[in-house]
Amino acid sequence: MGENVDRLRPTVEDEYDDTTSEGSTVNVDPKDEAVDGIEALVLSFLTQLDSALKPEETQEVGSGPTRSKKKIELRIANRTKQARDGTTTVRALKFPQRFRYASSRPFAQLFRVMDIVHEAVINEVPVTKRDIYYRHASLFKTQATVDRLVDDLAATFNVGRADLNVRASPKGLLCGSCIQIRLEDGNVITPSDSEACLIPHAEDIAVFDVDPELSWVLIVEKEAVFQTLCSSEFTRLPEIGRGIILTGKGFPDVATRVLVKTLASNLPETIPIMALVDGDPSGLSILSTYMDGSTAMQHENDKLAAGKRIKWVGIHLSELSRLGVGKDSLLPMTSHDEKKAMSMLLHDAPPYPDTWRKELVHMLHTRRKAEIEILASAHSDNSKHSGCPVQPLLSYLVNKISLFSTNATID
């Protein structure tokens, strides 16, 4: 990497600014906010429990005290729904309540997660969601229960998941020697142009060093396609200049989204950031996660959503016939695909680009979808780019990257 580099800091804030009643600004550590929030929830529970255990005096003369019929209720964020003003709504955990199972289990699950998170923050020892699950697998039943509760607590206390000292196991991969990652412990990760490396947790990253020769960034949905591009040293082809390729292996993890957001917020507009996803509703849903964030982590979308800086290079179902791919080579849409496509067409917050909507309509009309790997069956003159590997996928991307590098404003 050259001497002149751009240093990009990850979009993860360690401190929040708050304003006092006198107008002065103080720094509020979100981890302190998390600890205070957990302790306040526990105190609320104990206070309600004490009140519920106290007998109530009956109004009838001569009768003794009766047991209280008060319910214990805790309110936490409901990330699946938003109020009309865009704020997160809440859901209530109540006890006792009629359930198929003991109504105390949701409370036990919540308090066990809070106990582990409280310990992790106080002792400054990070823990993974997987660790939390395996500590009491019989209580949680599924990993999804832990995942939901951790994100619910973060939204409830209005902090990031990282502020709870809870991490997801990293899965995103990066390829390309135009970037270096300097960690807080002093170590440096230097990706190569032929081998992938894991994208580390955002909290461990001090700064990204980006080489001024960087010409493009490509996000790839699938690991298999990513590995193909990486092994072919696609990031250093002379036809398109030097680039970076990364993948979240399907729906991306937080570390991958933080990297994409950091690049989108700091790289000049002349460097296109592009995405290659399947030509189906799920592929567009993954693209939307990079651009607009996700419902599950909407309270952190300001740090995770890269916005319109990301451009969709393909694959587009409508272009495949021109590339020599016949309809019979495409996959049929499932009922799930069709429902998802219809749901996306009705989506209006934020509205999807016209290009996306046209492709979704085309999918529904033809009842066909396409995976990226379909390009391997393409046989057209477009796959014979001079000076480029003959493999259709590489040729396809060379043409697309060249186009987007020339006109970075294309949607």
Domains and CATH numbers, the chain: 93-168 (1.10.10.10), 213-406 (3.40.1360.10)
| Burial (Cβ within 10 Å: 0-12, 13-18, ≥19) of residue 216 | buried
Alpha-carbon span 179 to 181, nearest angstrom: 7
Alpha-carbon span 183 to 199, nearest angstrom: 11
121-135 tens-digit pLDDT: 998 888 888 888 888
Alpha-carbon span 401 to 383, nearest angstrom: 14
**Token pair recorded at residue 223:** 């690991």
Q: What is the DSSP string of 106-141?
A: HHHHHHHHHHHHHHHHHHT--EEHHHHHHHTHHHH-
Alpha-carbon span 145 to 110, nearest angstrom: 9
Q: Which of 134, 290, 352, 396 is catalytic?
A: 134
- Strand duo 16-19 + 25-28: pairing: antiparallel
**Token pair recorded at residue 76:** 């936490």
Residue 148 binned pLDDT confidence (cut-offs 50, 70, 90): confident
**Token pair recorded at residue 92:** 């209530």
Torsion from C-alpha of 297, 298, 303, 309, nearest 10 degrees: 110
Residue type, 29: D
pLDDT of res. 45: 86
pLDDT of res. 363: 92
Highest mean pLDDT among 1-5, 154-158, 213-217: 213-217
**Token pair recorded at residue 115:** 């106990």
**Token pair recorded at residue 48:** 């309600």
pTM for this model (two decimals): 0.73
Let me know if 352 is a catalytic residue. no
Q: At what angle do helices 281-292 and 254-266 cross, to 10 degrees?
A: 60
